[in-house]
Chains A and B, each alone.
Chain A
Amino acid sequence: MADNSSNKSLFTVSSLQGGYGDIQILNGVSIDVPEKNIVTIVGPNGAGKSTILKAVYGIAKVTSGSVTLHKDGKDIDVLATKPHNLSKIGVGYVPQIENVFPALSIEENLEVGYVDFANKSLDEVRDEIYQSYPDLKKRHRDRAGTLSGGQRQMLAMARALMSSPRILLLDEPSAGLAPALVDQLFDELVKINQTGVTILMVEQNARRALAISDYGYVLDMGRNRHEGVGSALVDDPEIVGIYLGKK
């Protein structure tokens, strides 16, 4: 949990409806992400968690509602921004699956994630990333396709960080990781958050994710079901029973 949290909104999803083709998946979801917070969305399979993030990137269709980035006193209409420009306005995204370029080298994966808008050169940003992820540096010439699942997840995150995002959207960052790596990953997320990056993530590993979150939402059938401070959600017997499963 970030101690540098404030209550000013950075990213808001309001009354979002939409889905795929004629199938409506989101039935008016609202999420508020305060600046420098970690916010987690949990919920059963098929609840529409990934669909929220996909809607932001125009992969899922939005029929009504809005997504806004409140940055430096301006309100930016995220849904009206072309997906490739989202990294330019400070939104980074790590999809749930296929989130690296396997045929490209690790270094190239990072380079294509770089956005030339900050006053930092590619080399500076990359060196910073290599300092936080020495394992990637060690293997920078290898194809990303040769990495293990955990290393790929790390690379996917590092790639998103190359655009110096204000907010990172993470779709199940711990999916498929060995238990030891899950702990490492959540520690990593806290570290990233401490550098000032706001995080909105979707997680199956709800207990662990909520434990590091400032705030959590429980989503079901494309609707908000519960919300609250991360630690409170984990302790709520009703939510634990229905959505988080037994310990």
Chain B
Amino acid sequence: MSDFIQYFFNGLVVGCIFAIAAVGISLLYSVLRLVNFAAGDFLTLGAFITYFLSVTLELNFLLSVVVSMIAGMAISWFLELVLWRNLRRNKAGTLALFLVATGVALMLRPIIQFIFGTETRKFNIDILKTYDFLGARIPQTQLLVLIFASASILTIALFIAKARIGKDMRAYANNPGLASVSGINVDRVVLATWLISGALGSLAGVFQGLVQGQFNNAMGESLLLSFFAAVVLGTIGDAYGALAGGLLLGLIMELSQLSIFFGGVPSNYKPVVAFATLVLVLLFKPEGIFGYRARKV
């Protein structure tokens, strides 16, 4: 029982981080048809900027996180202005966009390495304090990450559901042709999408860095495939689906380590579990868990 609680808790924490990263990827895909292969590196970047501000410059931690989110938005918007906008204007297809995103990822990695080095870093946060809950060991940082990450997820979900710009984003994603002739300001939708995904990338990076305890410049890219699995699991381009897919995938990956599953899947096989889950779901529901098809008329 305590094992179950332990893995369930870990799964929630991991799942929340997946969800936050996945929803950014999903929004970018649904609005811009961009498969953002650089998403992982934005996590790394967010963690390093926060590290630089809070540890090197000794600024307040929360303030550092906020600044790193703003930096994530700024870099995303900069790339939109110099790169993505022009590619779309030249009618670049999804595959071309995907390849350029891969190029961006390959460029970001050495840049991050050049600026921040290859050493393993740690936030200046007490990661040793733990609570005992029904026999499970709940580290304080993970508990805090869970609280803040759930609050973030709730905020994002409400924003997409209720805010006018959130509705505009969904409308544009659903029918871009109609959106641009029905009063929806497409430029604003694109801006909002980049800002949200930039901010969420940094935030997920900080959460991941906190949960791992220490991180290096390979942190984000190692998670990228799991994020994509979460996006596809929850139906490609469905923002709520990505949130749910992330949570579900985190839970499945952690719970697979319980001994009732083949004596417990070793933790380095977690990505295999992620993809096995994905394949299984796609076999039975090719459009993802939240997929729906509009009635043909």
Could you tell me which A residues sit within 8 Å of B by CB distance? Answer: 57, 59, 83-84, 86-88, 93, 95, 98-104, 108-109, 111-113, 115, 143, 145-149, 152, 159-160, 163, 176
Contacts and interface: CB of A to CB of B under 8 A. Distances in A.
- Interface of chain B, main secondary structure: helix
Interface residues of B, number: 23
A108 B294 CA distance: 16
Contacts of B184: 84, 112
Contact of B294 (A59, A83, A102, A160): A102
Interface of B: 164, 167-168, 170-171, 173-175, 177-186, 292-295, 297
A113 B184 CA distance: 8
Contacts of B181: 57, 59, 83, 86, 93, 95
Nearest to A150: B297
A148 B177 CA distance: 21
Contacts of A176: 297
A104 B167 contact: yes
A220 B295 CA distance: 35
B180 A143 contact: no
A104 B170 contact: yes
Given A84-B183, A93-B182, A99-B178, A104 B295 contact: no
Given A143-B292, A145-B292, A147-B295, A101 B174 contact: yes
Contact of A111 (B164, B174, B185, B293): B164
A101 B175 contact: yes
Contacts of A143: 292, 294
Contacts of B170: 101, 103-104, 108
B294 A112 contact: no
Nearest to A163: B183
A160 B171 CA distance: 14
B102 to A, nearest CB: 29
